[in-house]
Amino acid sequence: MGYSVKIADLEKDKETIVSILERNRSRTDTDYAKRFDWIYLNNPFGRAKAWIIYNDDTGQAVGFTGVFPRPIFVNGKEYLAWNCGDFSIDKKYRALGVALKLRRAAKNDVDAGRVPFLYAHPNKRMEVVHLRVGHKKISEMRRFALPLKFDRYFKDRLPVEFLAKIVALPINSSLRLKYALKNPKNIKGQILANVECRPEHEALFEAMKKQFKVIGIRNCSFLKWKFADHPNFKYQQFDCYRGNQLIGTLFFTVKNQVVHLIDVLVNDHQADIIPLFARFINEVYKNKFAQALSFILQTNNPIIPLLKELGFKERNDATSSVIAYANEEKNKQIATIVLNGANWFMTVGDRDA
């Protein structure tokens, strides 16, 4: 039985691609047809590219993968790279050979010089496929969590809900006081129900480009597309000021009383991360909409030690690999930098898929 990989025609093959996703993904909160238009056709940096693999005997499409263009800054210079995603193969055809054939398609374009490099976030099962085709594992993504209240913790361990609240009360009060004391008087902030981007947010990203060797674009075009225009999820933002100067912005969504942080803009990560997060934590307390914070970050991310100072703890329930590929023979200068995970500033927001 043979298999053929063909470049997808995004308009003609939309139904095929959406159908493969719906067969192979378990999310119940995603309209994949709307998502297709958003991520494949309306990316502000260009259309996505996709490859479909067919069973030669039946002509049936049995899997596909996509890549999404995203500007990445390497030592301040802009490159249009590929963010890989949507690697999906029908269960019946998940042999290693089929997966390898499909996975090589994007790598071949890098080798041909059509794109300088790519990156991806496969799970453990798919990590093997990436490594077999020649991609390199440069890091891992991990979840960092911060409890703000312990009501649910004790509710699961005590027979009476009222008793759980009594036991949790002194712990909750001490936590709230802890973060109130970490918030300087000259630090102010506000939560915006809808994501909006202004020149001062662009200025934050310009500052970040100078702090990190490798960073994905976070300008207004990207932020509007990523958060304001997302077809399936509702995002909010938190702007933090020192006096009248914007020092940081957080983008997040709330589900089941957990704030899921997605991305951050910060003027000076060493000086501003702790006051930014401390002020946000105080706003969450004041607005009473969550009992915990959660943030998935690359393990090399330099803000992690600062988050740990605030009380964030690493969890092992959201691990995935960070994979990158650049042709080391044809593009050695770029490869040396992007294939070193320590050079990247990466959050879960870099998984555009």
CATH code, domain with 104: 3.40.630.30
Residue 248 resides in a domain = yes
Let me know whether 148 and 288 are in one domain: yes
Identify whether residues 21 and 133 lie together within a single domain: yes
Name the residue among 60, 67, 57, 58 with its Cα closest to residue 103.
67
The residue among 140, 175, 204 that closes a domain is 140
Q: Can you give the pLDDT at residue 169?
A: 59
The long-range contacts involving 308-312, CB below 8 angstroms and separated by at least 24 positions, are: 308/144, 309/274, 310/146, 310/179, 310/182, 310/274, 310/277, 310/278, 310/281, 311/146, 311/178, 312/144, 312/145, 312/146
* Distance in angstroms (rounded) separating the CA atoms of residues 51 and 165: 53
Instruction: For residues 54 and 95, state if they share a domain.
Output: yes
Give the whole-angstrom CA distance, residue 82 versus residue 116: 8
Residues 102 and 188 both lie in one domain: no
Mark which of 116, 140, 164 sits at the end of a domain: 140
- Domain assignment present for 151: yes
Claim to verify: residue 164 and residue 238 sit in the same structural domain: yes
Q: Tell me the C-alpha distance between 326 and 7, whole Å.
A: 21
Q: Are residues 237 and 293 in the same domain?
A: yes
CA 310 to chain centre: 22
Listed residues 140, 174, 204: the one ending a domain: 140
Residues 178 and 301 in one domain: yes
Same domain (yes/no): 41, 133: yes
Residue 343 within a domain: no
At 110 the three-state DSSP class reads helix
Q: Indicate whether 180 and 226 sit together in one domain.
A: yes
pTM: 0.93
Instruction: Give the three-state DSSP class for 56.
Output: coil
Residue-wise pLDDT tens for the chain (353 aa)?
Answer: 799 999 999 999 999 999 999 999 888 889 999 999 999 999 999 999 999 999 999 999 999 999 999 999 999 999 999 999 999 999 999 888 999 999 999 999 999 999 999 999 998 889 999 999 999 999 999 999 999 875 665 555 556 565 556 655 566 666 676 777 677 789 999 999 999 999 999 999 999 999 999 999 999 999 999 999 999 999 999 999 999 999 999 999 999 999 999 999 999 999 999 999 999 999 998 888 888 999 999 999 999 999 999 999 999 887 899 999 999 999 999 999 999 999 999 999 999 76
Residues 168 and 307 in one domain: yes
Number of domains the chain contains: 2
The answer on 216 and 74 residing in a single domain is: no
Measured distance CA(68)–CA(50) in Å, rounded = 9
32 located within any domain: yes
In a domain, 84, yes or no: yes
279 in any annotated domain: yes
* Residue 90 counted as domain residue: yes
Give yes or no for a contact between 48 and 39, defined as CB atoms under 8 angstroms apart.
yes
Expressed as residue numbers, the domain containing 45 is 3-140
Q: Alpha-carbon distance 343 to 338, whole Å?
A: 7
**The dihedral sign for the CA sequence 76, 82, 86, 90:** negative
CA 264, CA 279: separation in Å to the nearest integer? 14
Residues 98 and 223 in one domain: no
Residue 299 domain-assigned? Answer: yes
Q: What angle do CA 218, 292, 172 make, to 5 degrees?
A: 140
